[in-house]
Structure 1
Amino acid sequence: MRIVVLALNAVFDTGLATVLDAFRTAGELAGPHAPFELTLAGVRAEVRSAQGLGVPVVPVESCGVPDLVIVPAIGYKMPEPLAQALASEEVRDAGLALRRWAEQGVRIAAPCIGAFVLAETGLLDGHEATCTWWLTPMFRERHPHVGLDARRMVVQSGQFVTAGAALGHLDLALWLIRQSSPELAALVARYLIVDARPSQSAYVISDHLLHHDPLVAGFDRWAREHLAKRFSLEAAAGALATSKRTLARRMADTLGKTPVEHVQDLRIERAVHLLRTSDSSVERIAEQVGYKDGATLRSLLRKRLGKGVRELRNPSFAHTTAIKNGPEGPFR
């Protein structure tokens, strides 16, 4: 598989290195018949990373038609400087290259803020995507025709794949390797000691997003106070002096989810906190966060976080198990 990694000036150092290291590790583990051939390219002759390091690139014009293009994040974490960077001629030139490749059927992957660069081309319109969780209000405002689900870590839609924040670069790389060989991806994950991160939800700092809308912030406070009770959208809207439709719309605009989904996230968040800070039974914790029984809570934790109660009560459990199993795991 021929892969072009398209690096722009101010490329996020960790993201770029993560992508390159993951595929290099895969190549080393695969042996003489490595399935990946990487080319580091740019739309400028000289590229420097966000930390000022030189990035050795070849011109995109020399890359032909690869099988896959990866667009690592550029290193801007806040909306204003990011907006300025997205308006640059370099990003526009990168967009021309991406559209040309897309028309030729090339798959394009963009993790973290790289999803903004890809979305600027219009290629993601009508598709599902994910991106850096704390910039979701900005993404929705700039790209209303993209179906954004920032809770997910990796989203494939047609020929495009996007991934979540920062180390979502690694989740994306492993996902791409998995398409070629699930066994190789599992081995790379073991060598790099990567835990499964099926969702960004566990990492989202809700307060960072809530301040964008007072109504949404009010709903969050109300939901936290009534977490142990059966949820009623009508009761919530009444308490906030608004309509159910308005509340649902404002939640979607700010957080990209329904009121019910936000309540479920809060319940999971509270349950994890109680599992790690108390010796209460799972049944008791389930009752405290509004679930009818422990079995329901166990199922949701596994589905949403990819972890069981034992792992959440003792975070070192999964790491200790991995050490005992060794890097070879199922390939022994």
Structure 2
Amino acid sequence: MIVDILALDGVFDTGLAALQDTLATASELSADVGGPAIEPRVISLRRNTRTANGHKLSTSLCSDDRQARIIVVPAIGAKTPEGLAQALTHRDIAKAGELLRALKQDGAIVAAACTGTFVLAESGLLDGKIATTSWWLGPFFRSRYPEIVLDDRQMLVVGDGIVTAGAVLAHFDLGLWLVRQASPALAATTARYLMIDPRPSQTGYAIPDHLAHSDPLVERFEQWARDNLDQGFSLQAAEEALGTSRRTLARRLKSVLGKTPLNFVHDLRVERAVHLLRTSSDSVEAIAEKVGYADGVTLRTLLRRRLGRTASQLRNLEA
């Protein structure tokens, strides 16, 4: 199984290495575990391609071969919305889009991770589809691509031959997903060798107030919600405290975060609960009361749903 990794000039070093190492490890293990050999090939649009840290890459130039295959776009090195917006104006982005569209039309699986998802979005292949990206770039992604349904809670979103992955270390998750298509057993063994735990969601890594700061009203709502986290949520109380209408508040939260006011409050409660689980000896029931839930059962259910982990597992992470 050949996997082409499209390294654009300024590719993020960690993302590229994560894909290469995951696929190469799986290939070496395939003889013992079973499954096809996997050949990761780094391809590029130019002869002299360097990583974001200035390392020169040994790559093959993209060919005119249109046989169906797998092509992956790792992250590009920009780390802020401003830097990313500038990087997306580079002529290689448009050329990459042409290549991705042609390969997808001929049956290829097209994938991207982290800021590489913006390259995929620029190609138009994600229009009208569900996708994910790095959690901290969610507001920028939504404002730039309103025609794409962004679910940045997810680590991976798969559909219609297109795969998008979340923040930097999601390159490992993406690499394992590609291996799993050839052999689930090989993917499981590779994950054990690389010590990669299942991470279905980015929610546990997101910093809600970081996201909220991209809009003044959302930021004020975030601060009000934190100050009243142990109280039952009231949208009427929120609009009175902030001097705005519930419709305006809901619209701004949806535009910036892709969430309802109540869902964002749930995020803040989960964040506080996880912090208390890791730093205090309080019972789950006591923590539930502190973050506005009636009982520990509700909190446990929310932790499983949003983080994919139980409260006891979260404690064990810090043991």
TM-score (norm 1): 0.91
Q: Which residues of 2 match residues 91-170 of structure 1 at below 5 A? A: 91-170=93-172
What is the SS of the residue equivalent to 1:54? coil
The offset of 1:316, in angstroms, is: 4.9
User: Greater shift after overlay, 5-14 or 35-44?
Assistant: 35-44
The offset of 1:62, in angstroms, is: 5.1
The offset of 1:250, in angstroms, is: 0.4
What is the SS of the residue equivalent to 2:63? helix
| Corresponding residue number in structure 2 for 1:227 | 229
How far apart, CA to CA, are the structure 1 residues paired with 2:6 and 2:264? 36
- Alignment of 1:20 onto 2:28: no
The offset of 1:111, in angstroms, is: 0.2
**Equivalent residue in structure 1 for 2:216, among 210, 214, 217:** 214
- Alignment of 1:284 onto 2:293: no
Report if the CA contact (8 A) 1:4-1:66 is conserved. no
| Corresponding residue number in structure 2 for 1:40 | 42
**Misfit runs of 4+, over 4 Å:** none
| Corresponding residue number in structure 2 for 1:185 | 187
What is the SS of the residue equivalent to 2:204? helix
**Equivalent residue in structure 1 for 2:259, among 257, 260, 271:** 257
**Equivalent residue in structure 2 for 1:54, among 53, 56, 68:** 56
From the superposition, tell whether residues 56 and 63 of structure 1 become closer, same or farther in structure 2 (CA, over 3 Å).
Answer: farther
How far apart, CA to CA, are the structure 1 residues paired with 2:166 and 2:299? 25
**Equivalent residue in structure 1 for 2:272, among 260, 270, 273:** 270
| Corresponding residue number in structure 1 for 2:29 | 29
| Corresponding residue number in structure 2 for 1:320 | none
How far apart, CA to CA, are the structure 1 residues paired with 2:83 and 2:278? 38
| Corresponding residue number in structure 2 for 1:246 | 248
The offset of 1:87, in angstroms, is: 0.9
| Corresponding residue number in structure 2 for 1:174 | 176
What is the SS of the residue equivalent to 1:48? coil
How far apart, CA to CA, are the structure 2 residues paired with 1:213 and 1:103? 39
Which consecutive residues of structure 1, in runs of 5 or more, have no partner in the other structure? 318-332
| Corresponding residue number in structure 1 for 2:88 | 86
Q: Percent identity?
A: 53
Count residues in correspondence. Answer: 317
| Amino acid corresponding to residue 302 of structure 1 in structure 2 | R
How far apart, CA to CA, are the structure 1 residues paired with 2:42 and 2:152? 28
| Amino acid corresponding to residue 20 of structure 1 in structure 2 | Q
User: Greater shift after overlay, 47-56 or 33-42?
Assistant: 33-42
How far apart, CA to CA, are the structure 2 residues paired with 1:268 and 1:80? 30
User: Greater shift after overlay, 127-136 or 108-117?
Assistant: 127-136
Q: CA RMSD in A?
A: 1.6
The offset of 1:137, in angstroms, is: 2.0
| Corresponding residue number in structure 2 for 1:9 | 9
TM-score (norm 2): 0.94
The offset of 1:44, in angstroms, is: 1.0
How far apart, CA to CA, are the structure 2 residues paired with 1:305 and 1:14? 24
| Amino acid corresponding to residue 246 of structure 2 in structure 1 | K
The offset of 1:217, in angstroms, is: 0.8
User: Greater shift after overlay, 248-257 or 131-140?
Assistant: 131-140
| Amino acid corresponding to residue 187 of structure 2 in structure 1 | A
How far apart, CA to CA, are the structure 2 residues paired with 1:83 and 1:276? 37
How far apart, CA to CA, are the structure 2 residues paired with 1:34 and 1:156? 22
How far apart, CA to CA, are the structure 1 residues paired with 2:11 and 2:309? 33
The offset of 1:165, in angstroms, is: 0.9
What is the SS of the residue equivalent to 2:153? coil
| Amino acid corresponding to residue 289 of structure 1 in structure 2 | V
